[in-house]
A and B are shown apart, each in its own frame.
Chain A
Amino acid sequence: MEKKIGVYICSGCGIGEAINVEQLASVAGENNVPVCRSHGMLCSKEGVQIIKNDMEQEGVNTIVIAACSPRVMYDVFSFDGCIVDRVNLREQVAWCQPPGDENTQMMAEDYLRMGLTKVNRMELPEPYKPDTEMSKDILVVGGGVSGLSAALAASDAGYKVTLVERSAELGGFQKSVKNIATFPYKRGLQNNPVSDLVQKVQNNENITVYTEARIESTAGGPGLFDVTILQNGSTITHKFGAIVLATGWVPYDPKQLDAKLGYGLPNVITGTEFEEMIAAGGIKRPKDGGEVRNVAFILCAGSRDPNHLPYCSTVCCIASLKQALEVKRQNPDANVFIVYREMRTPGQSEDLYRKAQEEGVIFIRCQTPEVSKGAQGLTVKGFEDLVGDEVIIDDLDLVVLATGMVPTTSFGENVLATEKKEGEEEAVPADVILRSDILNLQYRQGPEVPILKYGFPDSHFICFPYESRRTGIYLAGCVRRPMGIASALEDGAGAAMKAIQCVELVHKGMAVHPRAGDTSFPEFFMQRCTQCKRCTVECPFGAINEDEKGNPLPQPTRCRRCGVCMGACPERIISFKNYSVGMIGDMIKSINVPDEYEEKPRILVLACENDAYPALDMAGTRRMKYNPWVRVVPLRCLGSMNLIWIADALSSGIDGVVLLGCKYGDDYQCHFIRGSELANIRLSKIKETLDRLALESDRVRFETVSISDYDRLPKILDEFAERIQEIGPNPYKGF
Chain B
Amino acid sequence: MSGPTNQSILVVGGGMSGMTAAIEAAEAGYEVYLVEKNPYLGGRVAQLNQYFPKLCPPYCGLEINFRRIKQNPRIHVFTLAQVESISGEEGNFEVAVLLKPRYVNEKCTCCGKCAEATTIEIDNPFNYGMDRVKAAYLPHDMAFPMRYVIDPVLLQSSEAQKVKEACPYDAIDLTMESKTIKLSVGSVVWATGWNPYDAKKLDTYGFGVYPDVITNVMMERMAANNGPTQGRIVRPSTGQPPRNVAFIQCAGSRDENHLPFCSSICCLASMKQATYVREQIPDATVYIFYIDIRATDRYEDFYLKVKKDENVVFFKGKVAKIFPSENSDQLILRVENTMTEELVEMPFDLVVLATGMEPSTSADPLPLPVAYDDYQFLPGPVVQPGIYAAGCVRSPLNVSESVQDGTSAAIRAIKSIVVRR
Contact = CB atoms under 8 A, between A and B. Distances in A.
Contact of B373 (A184, A388, A493, A517): A184
Contacts of B222: none
B24 A158 contact: no
A463 interface: yes
B377 A348 contact: yes
B56 A158 contact: no
B395 interface: yes
A75 interface: yes
Interface in A507-539: 512-514, 516-517
Contacts of B24: 497-498, 501
Interface stretch (B196-204, B281-289, B409-417): B409-417
Nearest to B54: A667
A184 B378 CA distance: 11
Interface in A334-354: 342-351, 354
Given A346-B262, A386-B338, A498-B24, A12 B63 contact: no
Given A517-B72, A667-B56, A708-B225, A491 B404 contact: yes
Contacts of A678: none
Given A462-B400, A490-B408, A667-B55, A312 B61 contact: no
A183 B415 CA distance: 23
A232 interface: no
Nearest to B72: A517
Interface string A151-180: 001101111100000000000000000000
Contacts of A348: 261, 373, 375, 377, 395
Interface string B78-109: 00000000000000000000000000000101
B280 to A, nearest CB: 14
Contact of A462 (B56, B70, B111, B254): B56
B401 interface: yes
A68 B294 CA distance: 46
Interface centre among B53, B56, B374 (most CB of A within 10 A): B56
A311 interface: yes
Contact of B339 (A41, A386, A517, A708): A386
B296 A312 contact: yes
Interface in B20-78: 24-25, 27-29, 51, 53-57, 59-65, 67-68, 70-72
Interface stretch (A21-29, A107-115, A614-622, A722-730): A614-622
A715 B27 CA distance: 39
A453 B301 CA distance: 11
A516 B415 contact: no
Nearest to B71: A517
A462 B4 CA distance: 29
B419 interface: yes
Contacts of A345: 262
Interface centre among B57, B60, B380, B401 (most CB of A within 10 A): B60
A669 B60 contact: yes
B365 interface: no
B47 to A, nearest CB: 12
A651 B3 CA distance: 52
Nearest to B2: A158
Given A41-B169, A347-B261, A493-B408, A706 B373 contact: no
A372 interface: no
Contacts of B168: 12, 41
A671 interface: yes
Contacts of A486: 380
B54 A494 contact: no
B122 interface: no
Contacts of A504: 3-4, 27-29
B173 to A, nearest CB: 15
A44 B296 CA distance: 52
A466 B407 contact: yes
A690 interface: no
A14 interface: yes
Interface residues of B, number: 90
A464 B142 CA distance: 19
Interface string A447-462: 0000001101000011
A655 interface: no
A136 B56 CA distance: 36
Given A463-B64, A497-B410, A311 B3 contact: no
B292 interface: yes
Interface centre among B65, B260, B340, B403 (most CB of A within 10 A): B403
Given A72-B146, A497-B28, A514 B297 contact: no
A710 B407 contact: no
Contacts of B293: 342
A184 B375 CA distance: 11
Given A388-B339, A490-B405, A351 B411 contact: no
A347 B380 contact: no
A707 B59 contact: yes
Interface in A222-261: none
Given A184-B379, A347-B396, A385-B338, A707 B63 contact: yes
Interface centre among A12, A71, A453 (most CB of B within 10 A): A71
B418 interface: yes
B60 A707 contact: yes
B340 A500 contact: no
21 contacts: A41-B109, A43-B109, A156-B414, A157-B415, A157-B418, A344-B292, A348-B375, A348-B395, A385-B339, A386-B339, A462-B56, A490-B381, A490-B404, A494-B407, A494-B411, A500-B2, A500-B414, A505-B27, A513-B64, A516-B68, A618-B142
Given A463-B400, A489-B381, 4 more contacts: A453-B298, A463-B16, A463-B61, A497-B411
What 10 pairs between A and B have smallest CB-CB spacing? A463-B61, A346-B264, A494-B407, A493-B408, A497-B411, A156-B415, A501-B28, A708-B57, A494-B408, A314-B296
